[in-house]
């Protein structure tokens, strides 16, 4: 069977790889260069700590691939397991943390609930009096997204995937039976399946097949900062969940600082947004980090930064399904696409080859959940 994957980010490349591994003839179309949109602008987080069962299961299903990536793909992705530390300012959030840890532990995830003083053991610069509780997982960490893209792309090509860059899809072709192919700016391509892995462009692509998906392009920013006090490289990625602020150590003594602090979160045009960091936002991000850690203050220097796009759904969970016959959606990860890409690629292959998933039960990730009213929301967002 012929499959066309649309989108050359980490989710599209993972999907192409596992489809080819399953014996499909795969063509991947990317309007620009592979891995240069949202994937390249990702912080590269890989974690087990989520607030919903399905997101935690996607992490568990991806874990073995990340742990053995160098062996399987021949690329060292600079995977550093320095842990994730989530912080709660309110009793309501702390109660949710306890529930999260119990759920995660039931799946074999070794997270733990901490007191504020115990959290400071992992992050000595923490102003622990700001918080009432925390969670920690030592095996969480981060990797280099660009290196992961190279690994997937190389192996996909070795399996025969035709990766076509600078090839924009202009239309998704359908008949009474479902999707039949796509029209690109280089011509028509026939296919038995079309995979929508277009990230922030996924809703636009779906509309070409007369499908309405609630996937919204939202701008997010990251700053590279010289902290006033050096942060040891083995310190965890630390998240003040109630304010949305986070930071982690970076190379050469720098730190990554991020977060979304505006009450409004408007959609942006993915073809016309600015990928430059706003200095006003960066100053606010450093102020937030300085409120709860001694590593930052008014003397911290902002080196540089960038902006990228999250593909956000109303409940911060992806849509993974065969939306209409022959049209498979794998998008809307709300900032979690990089870490869940290995499981997602395998699920896409199962949907195309077997017509159903077995790696993870993804019934809850159907777009139909929004018609009946989604009852779950991912709270551990960063």
What DSSP letter does each residue of 264-297 carry, written as one string?
------TTS---BPPHHHHHHHHHHHHHHBTT--
| Same domain, residue pair 137 and 220 | yes
Distance (Å, rounded) from C-alpha 285 to C-alpha 262? 11
For residue 167, the domain's CATH number is: 3.50.50.60
Q: Do residues 330 and 11 touch, judged by C-beta distance below 8 A? A: yes
Is there a domain that residue 17 lies in? yes
| Same domain, residue pair 353 and 224 | no
Q: Do residues 325 and 342 touch, judged by C-beta distance below 8 A? A: no
| Same domain, residue pair 210 and 223 | no
Question: Of 312, 330, 361, which residue constitutes the final position of a domain?
Answer: 312
Distance (Å, rounded) from C-alpha 122 to C-alpha 37? 33
Question: Of 290, 312, 334, which residue constitutes the final position of a domain?
Answer: 312
Residue 379 clears pLDDT 90, i.e. is over it: no
What pLDDT, on the 0 to 100 scale, is given for residue 134?
98
Nearest to 21 by CA among 183, 214, 158: 158
Q: Do residues 9 and 197 touch, judged by C-beta distance below 8 A? A: yes
Residue 375's pLDDT band (boundaries 50, 70, 90)?
low
What pLDDT, on the 0 to 100 scale, is given for residue 311?
98
Distance (Å, rounded) from C-alpha 381 to C-alpha 229? 27
| Same domain, residue pair 86 and 149 | no
| Per-residue model confidence as pLDDT tens digits over 79-106 | 999 999 999 999 999 999 999 999 999 9
Is there a domain that residue 66 lies in? no
Q: Do residues 212 and 219 touch, judged by C-beta distance below 8 A? A: no
Residue 7's pLDDT band (boundaries 50, 70, 90)?
very high
Distance (Å, rounded) from C-alpha 240 to C-alpha 113? 15
Is there a domain that residue 61 lies in? no
| Same domain, residue pair 229 and 304 | yes
Question: Of 312, 333, 359, which residue constitutes the final position of a domain?
Answer: 312
Is there a domain that residue 151 lies in? yes
81 DSSP assignment: -
| Per-residue model confidence as pLDDT tens digits over 29-77 | 999 999 999 999 999 999 999 999 999 999 999 999 999 999 999 999 9
What residues make up the domain containing 32? 2-49+145-214+315-372
Q: Do residues 292 and 277 touch, judged by C-beta distance below 8 A? A: no
Residue 374 clears pLDDT 80, i.e. is over it: no
| Per-residue model confidence as pLDDT tens digits over 263-274 | 899 999 999 999
Distance (Å, rounded) from C-alpha 37 to C-alpha 31? 10
Distance (Å, rounded) from C-alpha 256 to C-alpha 274? 20
| Same domain, residue pair 163 and 197 | yes
Is there a domain that residue 381 lies in? no
| Same domain, residue pair 183 and 300 | no
Residue 295 clears pLDDT 90, i.e. is over it: yes
CA atoms within 13 A on the CB side of 287: 8
305: Cβ–Cβ under 8 A, 6 or more apart, which residues? 221, 222, 223, 224, 277, 282
228, with CB counted inside 10 A (0-12, 13-18, 19+), is: middle
For the chain, the residue count is 382
Is there a domain that residue 109 lies in? yes
What is the mean predicted confidence (pLDDT) over 233-249? 97
| Same domain, residue pair 225 and 93 | yes
| Same domain, residue pair 117 and 179 | no
| Same domain, residue pair 288 and 225 | yes
Distance (Å, rounded) from C-alpha 4 to C-alpha 169? 10
Is there a domain that residue 58 lies in? no
| Same domain, residue pair 223 and 120 | yes
Which tokens in the block code for residue 195? Answer: 């995979």
| Per-residue model confidence as pLDDT tens digits over 325-345 | 999 999 999 999 999 999 999
For residue 243, the domain's CATH number is: 3.30.9.10
| Per-residue model confidence as pLDDT tens digits over 103-139 | 999 999 999 999 999 999 999 999 999 999 999 999 9
Pairing of strands 25-29, 2-6: parallel
Mean pLDDT across the chain: 97
pTM score above 0.95: yes
Give the total number of structural domains in the chain.
2
In the chain, how long is the greatest CA-to-CA distance?
Answer: 64
What pLDDT, on the 0 to 100 scale, is given for residue 381?
80
| Same domain, residue pair 179 and 303 | no
3-state helix, strand, coil in the chain (%, to 5): 30, 25, 40
User: Which stretches of the chain are DSSP H helices?
Assistant: 10-21, 53-67, 69-73, 91-106, 116-122, 145-158, 202-208, 279-292, 337-353, 369-372
User: pLDDT > 90: what percent of the chain?
Assistant: 95
Is there a domain that residue 332 lies in? yes
| Per-residue model confidence as pLDDT tens digits over 167-191 | 999 999 999 999 999 999 999 999 9
Give the C-alpha distances (Å, rounded to integers) separating 90 from 93, 138, 238, 241.
5, 23, 17, 10
- Backbone angles phi and psi of 95, in degrees to 5: -60, -45
């Amino acid at each position: 069977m012929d499959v066309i994957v649309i989108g050359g980010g980490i989710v599209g490349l993972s999907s192409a790889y596992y489809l080819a591994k399953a014996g499909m003839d795969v063509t991947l179309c990317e309007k620009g260069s592979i891995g240069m949109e949202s994937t390249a602008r990702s912080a590269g987080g890989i974690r087990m700590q989520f607030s919903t069962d399905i997101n935690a299961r996607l992490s568990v299903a991806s874990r073995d691939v990340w742990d053995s990536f160098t062996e399987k793909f021949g690329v060292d992705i600079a995977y550093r397991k320095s842990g994730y530390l989530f912080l709660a300012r309110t009793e309501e959030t702390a109660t949710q943390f306890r529930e999260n840890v119990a759920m995660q532990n039931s799946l074999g995830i070794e997270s733990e609930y901490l007191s504020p003083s115990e959290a400071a053991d992992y992050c000595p610069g923490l102003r622990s009096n700001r918080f009432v509780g925390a969670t920690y997982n030592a095996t969480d960490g981060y990797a280099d997204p660009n290196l992961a893209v190279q690994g997937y792309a190389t192996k996909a090509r070795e399996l025969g995937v035709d990766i076509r860059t600078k090839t924009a899809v202009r239309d998704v072709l359908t008949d009474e039976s479902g999707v039949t192919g796509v029209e690109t700016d280089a011509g028509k391509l026939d296919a038995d399946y079309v995979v929508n892995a277009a990230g922030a462009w996924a809703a636009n692509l779906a509309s070409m097949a007369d499908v309405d998906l609630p996937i919204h392009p939202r701008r997010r920013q990251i700053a590279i900062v010289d902290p006033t006090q050096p942060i040891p490289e083995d310190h965890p990625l630390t998240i003040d969940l109630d304010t949305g602020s986070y930071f982690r150590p970076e190379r050469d003594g720098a730190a990554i600082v991020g977060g979304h602090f505006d009450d409004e979160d408007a959609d942006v045009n993915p073809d016309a947004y600015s990928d430059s960091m706003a200095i006003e936002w960066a100053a606010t991000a450093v102020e937030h980090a300085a409120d709860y850690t001694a590593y930052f203050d008014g003397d911290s220097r902002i080196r540089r930064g960038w902006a990228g796009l999250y593909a956000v759904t109303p409940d911060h969970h992806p849509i993974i399904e065969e939306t209409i016959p022959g049209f498979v959606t794998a998008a809307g990860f709300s900032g979690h696409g990089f870490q869940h890409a290995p499981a997602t690629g395998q699920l896409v292959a199962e949907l195309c080859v077997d017509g159903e998933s077995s790696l993870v039960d993804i019934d809850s990730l159907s777009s139909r959940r929004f018609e009946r009213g989604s009852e779950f929301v991912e709270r551990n967002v960063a």
